Structure formats: C-alpha cells, structure tokens
Amino acid sequence: MKLEEYLKNPDKEKLIDNIFSEIKKIQKDYEPFITISEKESREELKKKIKDREFLGIPISVKDNICTKGIKTTAGSKILENYVPPFDATAISKIKEVGYIIGKTKMDEFGFGTFCLNCAYGIPKNPRGVERSSGGSSGGSACLTSALNFPHISIAESTGGSISCPANFCGIVGLTPTYGLVSRYGLIDFASSLDKIGLMGKTIFEVAYGLTKIAGFDKKDSTSINKKPEDYTDHLKKDVSKFRVGVPKEYFNRVDEEVKKEVWRAIKKLEEKGVKYEEISLPSTKFALPTYYIISMSEASTNLARYCGIRYGETKELKGNYNEFFSGVRGEYFGEEAKRRILMGTFYRKAGYRDRYYLKALRVRRHIINEFKEMFKKFDCILSPTMPIIAPKFTDIALLSPAQQYAADFLTVAPNLCGFPHLSTPCGRAKGMPVGLHIIGDHLQEGKVLQLGSWI
C-alpha cells in the first residue's frame, strides 16, 4: 500500500501489529536499527488512536535526532545511555501524524560514506546483503528499502548522508535547503552543514514529510522564517518548460554503466519537453577538500563537549584533567571520530586557521556564487548521485580513509552550499540501483520534487 492510499483509510490498530512483525524480521535479516521502540509506539498510539486527525504513519528516525524517552546514541558508545527528555522540533511536528517505530543505525556522529563506523553494527543492503547501504544514514535507507508498509524516515545530511544511501538502496532521499527544517534537537556533526531531511520509497512520501517538518523555529538561530507550503502540490505538475544544466565535471570518474543510466533519465525528461544544456562548474574540484576542512573543523569543536564531565559516558575521576579527558574520549570514541577530531583540531590551530579553515570558508562562498549564476539560467542541475553502485564490503576494506572520502565528490558541493537536492532511482547497473541527483536553488524544493516526480 502506498502512503497516498493509506492516508485515505488508515487502519492504525491493525497496522501496528503487522508492522512490528515485519520490522523484527527485517532487523534479523538486515540490521537497520539501533533501537526498536515498540513499547513506546504502542503507548503513543493508545493515547492518540481516537483522534481522527492522527494518521498513525510509521516513522523511523536516524539516531542523531533526539526522541523523548527513546535512546539516542548518534551511533557512538560515548552516548550509549543517553535518553533525551525532549523531542527535536522535527520529531514533535512529525509525531502529529505519526509514531516512532525505532532509531536507525548511522556512522558515528555521521562520520562515513558506507555506514561502517557505527558502534552498534553495520546495516546490510536489502538489494544485496554483501553490499553497503551507504552512509551515514545507512540504517534509514536500509529499512526504507526493505519495509513493505507506508513509512517515512527522518534522516540527516552533512555532506551526502541522505543522497548516498538513498542511491545505494534504490529509494528517494530529500535534503532540504539549510535552515528550512529546524536543527533543534539534532546532535551536531558540523553546525553550518547539518540538515534534517527525509527518505521514502516514493516522491510523495518525502514531499508529504517535508510539508509536516519544515517551518520556522525560534529555538534554532539558523531557522528560515518562510511561509508554510504543501510540497505535494508540486508533484505531477508539468515540467515541459523546465531548463536543466548538466555539469560535465560531474561525469568525471563515474562508472560507465552509471553514466549510461543517468543520461537515459535525462533523455526521458527531454521527451517530456525539458531542455537540457551541458555546463561547466569548474570549482567542483575544490568542493571535496573544502567540505572536509570545514566539516572536520566544526566537528572538532562540537565533539569537545563529550569529555566525561558534563556530557557523554564517564570514568572514575582520577589523574589530572588531560589524563581523565583523554581516557574517556580514547575509550568511547571510535577510530574515525578520533581521526576527524585530530584533523579538525589541526585545521583550527594558531598559524593554520587562516591557511586552511578561513580559506575554505572563502572557497565555499565562491562555489555558492558559481552555482547561483547557473540558477539564473536553469531551474535545476542534474548529475549522478554517486559515481558507483553500492560497493561490496570486501571492496571497501581495500580503500584508505582518503579514498573513502573521495567517493563523496558528487554530493559534497550541494551540501556545502546548503542547496536542496533529491536522489531518485533512475535505473540499474549490474542489478543494483542508480540514482539521479536533482539540485535546486535555495528554497526551490518544489521544483526539485516536481522534476523528480517525472523520473
């Protein structure tokens, strides 16, 4: 059943038994969850079941978004026992129409491309269990791909953490404009880059979910005060007058079979009347290093709070401050978290801050301006979502950390600039899903969804 059909005639009580029966089977086969919240879900439904306005939509949540009374770990041992006393703003809003079925696996604090850095195990791709679900929102994509019920997954992206797993698992992933959805209650990775977004099996699911969670929040200083919009209104509108840009740089280092499927989708749009033009975004080559310098610098700052004194797990208070601090962080942070903290600290050091961090901020502004010039001429920009299909775990094991970072080169630029972007399935290569990336100008989610609905 599609969400559109379910919304017309929801049988909430019958669904919850069936959905948790399937969830337990999915968890056994693919392991997408850190926490399954069956008890909390049933209590929530019991309170709201008589409310005709409550639609009872099953909602999964990436584990770095706070959920009242449900453990929230950010995929890290340092937050293993954290149970938030409040809901993130996005969760408060989505709970008006749905209930939380569980918290999904993720790379620790969002640090990863293949969801191998979670302290609570690795989710398997339902399209091939020997392959990665993608990261860092790998659990959300894994569950969404496997679940046969109407469902919305609330996820988060810093540099491609929605688009990448959506691509690998053959589902739809929407990353909104930075600030459109409140970040209040989100456990930070990089404050100027983090965005709460959505995953679903269909464009309708993510458009409907965005309609519910978007909006101004005075508790978030980066929140945009924008008039509410029903994003489902854009679906199936005519796209024949659209003009799209296809950057040639976004097809470098991309597998030939992936290129073929993406171009097939672009030609399909052309048949609908969409005009496309090959363009150049020369600053693309700077996006990857710029993203990693900024994100690691901000992560180093944000994760300093987890020192065993005020936040996170702790140990016996002994030795001097540095010994205690290092002991806690050394034991409870994973290898990738330590690597990014150290690199981010280096980029912010006296003598290096101007050379790396401040220069990266200037380059980000240059990349934004380059995109903005293109959006004066084009409604959207199209590219492959990822340069490869979901890789096998055995192949990922052969890659160095730097090679793993390089896999993000197509997704980091729109994230760096805060542009809305959508990954939607557009074909298959070697039996695995291929995603088309649709990038729009700030606050142009409607256009992105409109174009995506035609693929």
On whether the CB atoms of residues 262 and 426 are closer than 8 A, the answer is yes
Structure tokens at 351: 């003598």
Q: Hey, how many other C-beta atoms are within 10 angstroms of the C-beta on 86?
A: 13
pLDDT digit string (tens) for the chain, length 455 residues: 788 888 876 677 777 888 999 999 999 999 999 999 999 888 888 788 777 678 889 999 999 999 999 999 999 999 999 999 999 999 999 999 999 999 999 999 999 999 999 999 999 999 999 999 999 999 999 999 999 988 999 999 999 999 999 999 999 999 999 999 999 999 999 999 999 999 999 999 999 999 999 999 999 999 999 999 999 999 989 999 999 999 999 999 999 999 999 999 999 999 999 999 999 999 989 999 999 999 999 999 999 999 998 899 999 988 898 899 999 999 999 999 999 999 999 999 988 999 999 999 999 999 999 999 999 999 999 999 999 999 999 999 999 999 999 999 999 999 999 999 999 999 999 999 999 999 999 999 999 999 999 99
pLDDT at 139: 98
Edge to edge, the sheet with strand 243-247 lists 33-36, 98-104, 57-62, 152-157, 195-200, 172-175, 421-429, 432-440, 380-384, 243-247, 275-279
Query: Please, is 371 exposed, middle or buried when counting C-beta atoms within 10 Å of its C-beta (0-12, 13-18, 19+)?
Result: buried
Structure tokens at 407: 């896999």
Compute φ and ψ for 171, nearest 5 degrees.
-125, -175
Contacts 24+ apart (CB under 8 A), 302-309: 302/188, 302/189, 302/190, 302/191, 303/109, 303/333, 303/337, 303/341, 306/78, 306/79, 306/332, 306/333
Q: At the topology level of CATH, where does 3-234 sit?
A: Amidase signature (AS) enzymes (3.90.1300)
> Cis peptide before 300, with omega less than 30 degrees from 0?
no
* Residue written as token pair 């290093």: 289
Distance between CA atoms of 290 and 134, rounded to whole angstroms? 22
Distance between CA atoms of 130 and 133, rounded to whole angstroms? 10
Q: What angle do CA 395, 128, 109 make, to 5 degrees?
A: 65
Query: DSSP label at 390?
Result: P
- Tell me the CA distances in angstroms from 243 to 207, 249, 371, 377, 411, one per residue in order: 22, 19, 15, 8, 21
On whether the CB atoms of residues 284 and 419 are closer than 8 A, the answer is no
First to last CA, the chain: 20
Predicted model pTM: 0.97
59 residue type, one letter: I
Rg of the chain over all Cα atoms, to the nearest angstrom: 21
pLDDT at 52: 67
On whether the CB atoms of residues 131 and 168 are closer than 8 A, the answer is yes
* Residue written as token pair 């990922």: 396
Compute φ and ψ for 131, nearest 5 degrees.
-115, 160
On whether the CB atoms of residues 433 and 142 are closer than 8 A, the answer is no
> Which residues have a catalytic role annotated?
62, 136, 161
Structure tokens at 56: 């009872």
Structure tokens at 412: 């980091």
Distance between CA atoms of 424 and 266, rounded to whole angstroms? 13
Structure tokens at 399: 């890659």
